[in-house]
A and B are shown apart, each in its own frame.
Chain A
Amino acid sequence: MIKIQYSLILSSVLVFFSACKEETAPKYDVEQEQDKKQKQVSEQFDFVLPQFISLAKSFQAAGLKYESGKTSDTKRAANYATQTAQLLNIGVYSTDLAYCALNGKSQDARNFFQVIQDLGNKSGLDVIFSDKELMQKFDQSISKQEDIETFIYEIQEKSESYMQDNNLRHMSLIQFAGAWIEGMYLGAENSQLTKSSDIAQALADQMFLLQNIIKGLESYPNEDANVDKITSKFKEIDETYRNFESVKVAGNNPNKNAPELSSSELGKLKSIIRSTRNWIVEAN
């Protein structure tokens, strides 16, 4: 009888430790996500956000030309001390990288890739960015625009796989928030922007991404004052935009009716985008 008791105690302890093995993850958010994963049921409504290079390509297709001095200064990268600031600015620099790569500014693109790699290593994404051969691969692709694009797509795919496999979607959403605001900033600040331009239309098209970005930021699993702050700034942009007369008239289905923003609405959008983007890049 005693032997049975001991073997039961021993097996209980062994099973307990085997079950707890995955719960020793270093961060609360990872544990929480793993718990969610074990439930293995998706929300009723979900979304897939585009790649950041697609944000830049859609502006390029709308006629956005390269203008120097608009991208974020790579020297600021050293100032980003929190994980949130690092992730947001990886997003900002990613759009700048795509913007430069698509416009044949390969040296600038290389500089942006360098800071993305550094920030990636600092912010816990070293699995993606610590590969020393990455820069070598980038240099091999630098002479041909199509090859750089392929390289960027490959990095994005690798990044997405890593984030999804490790339930780190909340981190990719913060990055995307940075990428989105930078794309909107580059579009809104472009000198070719007029109310009848295709760039204005591209801005309106990309505004439809904002609600999902907000949804994503709101589902961030940990308490983080910086995430709360950026969420409220993005909500402010959304609210401003939804109150535009042209947006109310167009309704909520961009497939049927896209809003044609007036000059005054474009000005207001430009101003709120600039202030939010500057808050993000100035190390908040």
Chain B
Amino acid sequence: MKTIKLVFFAVVAFLMLISATVADQANVLDNQLNALKQELKDLIKPARFEGSRVTYYKINKKPQFKNVEIFLLMESEYIFAFSGKVSSVPVHLRFYDSMDESERTLIYEVKNINDKNITVSSKDLNAAYRKKVPEVERLKRVFVEYEITKGSEKNEGVVMVIGNK
């Protein structure tokens, strides 16, 4: 009986310890991503902060895709800053004009944003888009796609901050 109790409490203690560790890891990741968000906010200056999004993912054995839709209501220049500094696997970034895979046009692509911060301007996106679709005036809505390549299972994230000049 004593042995059963002992085993029971040992299992409970172990499960609780795992739960606390997972929560701690999540907090560490959040702190890292928040620090990167601040770096990106500094990077977009003097543009005014328009919004941000952290995209969380769990690396697995297959590549995966995450999408973020962004609205460009104003004609003035938008600056998009991205950080893949906490990504341990290559993350590729693509801008599309539509969510519909059968109709969308790839506007711009940046390979391997892991380990670095990058910025992309809406001026460059508009110029690249007009080369492919000459009749368009400007982008009003873009879809950012992250391709997270395969690797060992791990929770990570990429950060995006948007500014408007």
Contacts and interface: CB of A to CB of B under 8 A. Distances in A.
A255 B140 CA distance: 6
Interface string B146-159: 00000000010100
Interface residues of B, number: 57
Interface in B1-35: 2, 5-6, 9-10, 12-13, 16-17, 19-20, 22-23, 26, 29-30, 34
B121 interface: no
Interface string A28-67: 0000000001101110111111110011011001000000
Interface in B64-93: 65-71, 73-75
B67 A208 contact: no
A178 B133 CA distance: 35
A41 B29 CA distance: 12
B6 A5 contact: yes
B69 A47 contact: yes
B49 interface: yes
Given A5-B2, A42-B57, A58-B74, A253 B97 contact: yes
Given A48-B70, A253-B98, A254-B141, A40 B157 contact: yes
A150 B46 CA distance: 11
Interface stretch (A107-115, A117-125, A130-138, A152-160): A152-160
B120 interface: no
A254 to B, nearest CB: 5
Interface in A4-46: 4-5, 8-9, 11-12, 15-16, 18-19, 22, 37-38, 40-42, 44-46
Given A38-B26, A40-B155, A46 B69 contact: yes
Contacts of A206: 73
Contacts of A164: 52, 54
Contact of B68 (A5, A47, A156): A47
Contact of B10 (A8, A57, A157): A8
B9 A9 contact: yes
A160 B16 CA distance: 33
Contacts of B6: 4-5, 8
B57 A49 contact: no
Nearest to A12: B13
A38 B67 CA distance: 21
A58 B20 contact: no
B162 interface: yes
In terms of DSSP, what is the predominant structure of the interface of chain A?
helix
A256 B66 contact: no
Interface in B92-118: 97-100, 103
B17 A42 contact: no
B156 to A, nearest CB: 9
B67 A51 contact: no
B75 to A, nearest CB: 7
Interface in B124-163: 129, 133, 135-136, 138-141, 155, 157, 160, 162
Given A50-B71, A149-B48, A157-B49, 14 more contacts: A1-B2, A16-B16, A22-B23, A40-B58, A42-B55, A42-B157, A44-B67, A46-B66, A48-B71, A55-B73, A206-B73, A208-B141, A253-B103, A255-B139
Interface of B: 2, 5-6, 9-10, 12-13, 16-17, 19-20, 22-23, 26, 29-30, 34, 41, 48-58, 65-71, 73-75, 97-100, 103, 129, 133, 135-136, 138-141, 155, 157, 160, 162, 164
29 contacts: A5-B9, A8-B9, A8-B13, A9-B9, A15-B20, A19-B20, A37-B30, A38-B22, A40-B26, A40-B58, A42-B54, A46-B67, A47-B70, A48-B51, A48-B69, A48-B160, A51-B51, A54-B74, A150-B48, A156-B49, A160-B49, A160-B51, A165-B34, A205-B73, A206-B73, A212-B69, A253-B97, A255-B98, A255-B138
